[in-house]
Amino acid sequence: MAPPEEHSGEIKEDSVAAASSADNLPISTVVFIIAMQKEAQPLVNRLQLTEDVDSMFLKGVPWVRYYGNYKDLNISIVCPGKDPILGVENVGTVSAALLTYASIQALQPDLIINAGTAGGFKAKGASIGDVFLVSHVTFHDRRIPIPAFDLYGVGLRQAFVTPNLLQELNMKVGKLSTGDSLDMAPVDESCIIANDATVKDMEGAAVAYVADLLKVPAIYLKGVTDIVDGDRPTSEEFLENLAAVTAALDEAASRVVDFINGKSLPQL
């Protein structure tokens, strides 16, 4: 994305007017950021996207992009791919942030959708299979107890506000807290509670950080695979529910895509 240029006051007003009229055009390019290919595959199939064999990313990264046109939308689904040595998927904030940055630079999307699985808190109303539309994101494992750095660590950001989408799709709404561990250490738990989060993942707040820097609206769809304040081990519950929740996530994501089609950002 081109850096903002220095303008006189007069030109600045013109560019503001141009930006807001662009906002009123129908959304054309949407990028889904999805951490695991298993989570992405049903949506790739449903939207009949093609894998990009001639990668637009720098040589060496294992990232995967699926792309195609669906109705009036140009859609890409990007995934961080697999660790070249361990063969596991590149979950977590580092890959998510890099992938978001490179995808915005290459594709200049009108909207980013981070879709994926998450742990949910039953005390906050989450059940297995729910798909949440996230209102705010935070981090729970960046504890820096120095004034202002504490808030920087938490990294509270609001998702792009979509009242019409929410009403139409009738999804649950909740705050998301992100950290680089699947398990939940007691100190993380206190931070998640302090962040008032209903769902917990490993990528959302990292995607939000980059989207916010580059001023790209972003929304977050999180399907609950495991209950974090329940009595089952997270990894066991996660694996058991992954396929069913991925199907629910695919269903929700496709309804979101159908809703977005033909609409401008302020209409969401």
**Catalytic residue numbers, as ranges:** 39, 226
Q: For ligand SAH, which residue of 32, 63, 80, 89 counts as binding (CB under 6 A)?
A: 89
Q: For ligand SAH, which residue of 138, 162, 225, 246 counts as binding (CB under 6 A)?
A: 225
The token pair at 92 is: 């977590």
188 binds ligand SAH (CB under 6 A): no
Q: For ligand SAH, which residue of 130, 141, 188, 203 counts as binding (CB under 6 A)?
A: 203
Complex with ligand SAH: residue 24 or 235, whichever CB lies closer: 235
Torsion of CA 22, 28, 32, 38, to 10 degrees: 170
The distance of closest approach from Cβ of residue 246 to ligand SAH in the complex, given in angstroms and rounded to an integer, is 10
246 binds ligand SAH (CB under 6 A): no
Radius of gyration of the CA atoms of the chain, in A = 18
Stretch that binds ligand SAH, among 101-109, 115-123, 134-142, 250-258 (CB under 6 A): 115-123
98 binds ligand SAH (CB under 6 A): no
202 binds ligand SAH (CB under 6 A): yes
118 binds ligand SAH (CB under 6 A): yes
119 binds ligand SAH (CB under 6 A): yes
Crossing angle of helices 37-46 and 234-260, rounded to 10°: 30
Stretch that binds ligand SAH, among 54-62, 138-146, 147-155, 228-236 (CB under 6 A): 228-236
Under a CB-based contact definition with an 8 Å cutoff, are residues 79 and 261 in contact? no
- β strands within the chain, DSSP E: 29-33, 50-51, 64-70, 73-79, 111-120, 131-139, 157-158, 172-178, 199-201, 218-227
How crowded is residue 27: how many other Cβ atoms within 10 Å of its Cβ?
Answer: 21
Stretch that binds ligand SAH, among 153-161, 162-170, 220-228, 252-260 (CB under 6 A): 220-228
Tokens 């972003």, located at residue: 218
Under a CB-based contact definition with an 8 Å cutoff, are residues 169 and 256 in contact? yes
124 binds ligand SAH (CB under 6 A): no
CA angle 224-227-231, nearest 5°? 160
Q: Can you give 179-215 as a three-state secondary structure string?
A: CCCCCCCHHHHHHHHHCCCCEEECCHHHHHHHHHHCC
Instruction: Please choose, from the candidates 128, 243, 141, 127, the residue with its C-alpha nearest in 3D space to the C-alpha of residue 184.
Output: 141
35 binds ligand SAH (CB under 6 A): yes
Under a CB-based contact definition with an 8 Å cutoff, are residues 219 and 135 in contact? no
Complex with ligand SAH: residue 9 or 87, whichever CB lies closer: 87
Q: For ligand SAH, which residue of 77, 78, 91, 248 counts as binding (CB under 6 A)?
A: 91
By CB under 6 A, the residues from 139 to 158 that bind ligand SAH are: none
Give CA–CA dist 134/207, Å, rounded: 13
The distance of closest approach from Cβ of residue 79 to ligand SAH in the complex, given in angstroms and rounded to an integer, is 10
193 binds ligand SAH (CB under 6 A): no
User: Interface with ligand SAH by CB under 6 A: which residues?
Assistant: 35-36, 88-89, 91, 116-119, 182, 200-203, 225-226, 228, 234-235, 238
